[in-house]
């Protein structure tokens, strides 16, 4: 991590011509169990990993926000807090940051401009939540620089809102929440409806092995949004707010009302919720 910090600080100095005052980081994550349950108001069991997104930053006296993307050959972006914050078709990396800042303002937080250089070693498109780590680290940066009275939960929710409404991916809350609240040597059992979370100690001597298949994917252009629409359709037909509210017994009685593929999606979510709660119990033993 020291190389990552040194590189982002060096790029800040090289492009912006002065030294940053703060360095902030947020981790990526792996989900142990609880797949496609978060956006169905269900349970998930993720843990933070030792790959992260790092920001070097400093406050400004004006309302300008200047960005440096170290991992994109020091590509830059800039916008003014007093003007509409707009989507950039040619700078997708910047839209995650722009979205986070926009919704911090919408939520009523007050701050001046910031200079930011950002870099990370969370593999992009590998399912380790590089976008959530970026959203959380930006929210955390504004919190630290301007002493904002914002909880880690709201930093996560703000990041989710940015990804949903600004970037255009209808993601759930799991990725941002574990990035904002993850603890060393612990998983987190998260109720994605109430946002109540419980730290689950990982057994001593246990290692989590993460294998990168090198097959790129991104939530925005993947089948993710399609899966979510299918689950929402199942909930509508079954007469509930979310699939979290359906027992396997109730599903078995009504599954023939669903399209075959939609029923397959729903069955997974309903049974996965039960598996996730059981997994958390067994980790604690």
pLDDT by residue for the chain (285 residues), tens digit each?
689 999 999 999 999 999 999 999 999 999 999 999 999 999 999 999 999 999 999 999 999 999 999 999 999 999 999 999 999 999 999 999 999 999 999 999 999 999 999 999 998 877 888 999 999 999 999 999 999 999 999 999 999 999 999 999 888 899 999 999 999 999 999 999 999 999 999 988 888 898 888 777 655 556 888 999 999 999 999 999 999 999 999 999 999 999 999 999 999 999 999 999 999 998 875
pLDDT of residue 158: 98
The DSSP code for 24 is E
Say how far apart CA 184 and CA 169 lie, in whole Å: 29
Other CB atoms within a 10 A radius of the CB of residue 229 amount to 13
The boundaries of every CATH 3.30.230.10 domain in the chain are 2-201
Name the architecture of domain 2-201. Answer: 2-Layer Sandwich (3.30)
pLDDT of residue 222: 64
Strands 186-191 and 43-59: antiparallel
pLDDT of residue 169: 86
**What are 24's strand-pairing partners?**
55
Coil, helix or strand at residue 55: strand
Based on C-alpha coordinates, what's the Rg of the chain? 20
> Any long-range contacts for 260-264 (C-beta under 8 Å, 24+ apart)?
261/230, 262/230, 262/233, 262/234, 262/237, 263/234
Q: Which residues are catalytic?
A: 175
Cα–Cα–Cα angle for 156, 56, 77, nearest 5°? 80
Helix (H) or strand (E) holding 183: none
Contacts of 71 (CB under 8 A, 6+ apart): 93, 118, 119, 120
pLDDT of residue 127: 81
What are the helix (H) ranges across the chain?
2-16, 92-106, 130-146, 152-161, 174-181, 224-238, 248-254, 260-283
Q: Tell me the pTM.
A: 0.89
């Amino acid at each position: 991590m020291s190389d990552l910090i040194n590189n982002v600080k060096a790029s800040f100095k090289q492009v912006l011509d002065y030294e940053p005052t703060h360095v902030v980081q947020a981790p990526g994550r792996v989900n142990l169990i609880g797949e496609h349950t978060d956006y169905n108001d269900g349970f998930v069991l993720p843990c933070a990993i030792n790959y992260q997104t790092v920001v070097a930053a400093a406050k400004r006296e004006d309302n300008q926000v200047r960005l440096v993307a170290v991992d994109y050959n020091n590509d830059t972006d800039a916008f003014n807090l007093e003007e509409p914050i707009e989507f950039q078709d040619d700078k997708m990396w910047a839209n995650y940051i722009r979205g986070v800042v926009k919704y911090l303002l919408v939520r009523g937080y007050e701050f001046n401009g910031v200079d930011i250089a950002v870099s990370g070693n969370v593999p992009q498109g590998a399912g380790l939540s590089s976008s959530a780590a970026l959203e959380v680290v930006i929210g955390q940066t504004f919190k630290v620089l301007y002493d904002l009275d914002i909880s880690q939960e709201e930093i996560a929710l703000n990041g989710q809102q940015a990804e949903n409404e600004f970037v255009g991916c209808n993601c759930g809350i799991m990725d941002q929440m574990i990035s904002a609240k993850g603890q060393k040597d612990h998983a987190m059992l998260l109720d994605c409806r109430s946002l109540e979370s419980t730290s689950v100690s990982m057994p001593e001597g246990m290692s989590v092995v993460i294998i990168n298949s090198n097959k790129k994917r991104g939530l925005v252009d993947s089948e993710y949004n399609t899966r979510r629409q299918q689950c929402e359709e199942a909930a509508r037909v079954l007469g509930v707010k979310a699939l979290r509210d359906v027992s396997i017994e109730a599903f078995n009685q009504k599954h023939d009302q669903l399209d075959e593929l939609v029923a397959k999606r729903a069955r997974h979510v309903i049974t996965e919720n039960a598996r996730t709660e059981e997994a958390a119990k067994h980790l604690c033993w």
